Chain A
C-alpha cells in the first residue's frame, strides 16, 4: 500500500513552454500533497503544500504564478511549470500524506525536467 506515481518521469522542453507534472496516490486518498525540488547532490526543498479543494500554500521564495499547483481530487495533484527557463531544470518530486491516519509522507518517483 501507499503507492504514489508521478508522470512523466523525464521531460525535456524548450525555453518558454509550460510543463505539467502529475502526482497520483494510487491506493489511498491523499488529503495533503507536497511538491519538492531537488538540485543535484542536495537535499529536498519544499516548494508548496496542496490540500484537496483549496489553494496551495507556497514556501517563501517560490513564485506561485510560476509554479501552478492544482489538487483537484483526493488522488491527484498537478504542478505546472509555466514559461519554463533553463534555471527551472531540476528534479521535481511529490509526496502524499493520508491514509491510515499517519503523518508519513510517501513519495513519487520524481520527474527530471530539463529546459533547453
Chain B
C-alpha cells in the first residue's frame, strides 16, 4: 500500500524556536501533491502548505516551509519561531494516484506538537 509515515508521535519545542516534523511517503507516481494540515484540539483541519512533485522550489507559507527531498521521498514541515498557538496535531497527506480517481488524500498518523513557554 502506498502510505504516509510520520515517525514522531509527539514533539516538544520551546516557544520561539524552530521545529521540524517528519514525513515520508511511498509512491510510484511521477506526479503527486503533498499537503500539511494542522488540527487543534477543536478538531478542525487547517490547511497549511502544499508542495507539488514537480515544483522546483520548496514551498513556503509564512512561518511554514516544506523541506521537500524528492529522491528521499520526504516532505518535512518546518515551523519557524514557534508560538503557543502552534500546539496541535499535524498531519502530512499525499494526493492519491490519479488514473480516474478523484484525488483522494492519504493521511499519515500525525504528530502531536506541544509548544512550551
Contacts and interface: CB of A to CB of B under 8 A. Distances in A.
The answer on A and B forming one complex is yes
B29 interface: no
Contacts of B45: 44, 93, 95, 107, 110
B104 A109 contact: no
B103 A97 contact: yes
A43 B107 contact: yes
Contacts, number: 53
A32 B102 contact: yes
Contacts of B35: 104-105
A34 interface: yes
B42 A105 contact: no
Interface string A100-111: 001111111110
A19 interface: no
B47 A43 contact: no
A104 B43 contact: no
A112 B105 contact: no
A46 B43 contact: no
Interface of A is mostly: strand
A93 B109 CA distance: 16
Contacts of B103: 32, 97, 103
Contacts of B97: none
A66 B44 CA distance: 24
Interface in B25-52: 33, 35, 37, 42-47, 50
B110 A43 contact: yes
A106 B47 contact: yes
A57 interface: yes
Interface of B: 33, 35, 37, 42-47, 50, 91, 95, 102-105, 107-110
Interface of A: 2, 32, 34, 42-44, 46, 49, 51, 57, 91, 93, 95, 97, 102-110, 112
29 contacts: A32-B102, A32-B103, A34-B104, A34-B105, A43-B109, A43-B110, A44-B45, A44-B91, A46-B105, A49-B102, A51-B102, A91-B43, A93-B45, A95-B45, A95-B105, A97-B102, A97-B103, A103-B33, A103-B95, A103-B103, A104-B50, A105-B35, A105-B105, A106-B47, A107-B47, A108-B44, A109-B44, A110-B43, A110-B44
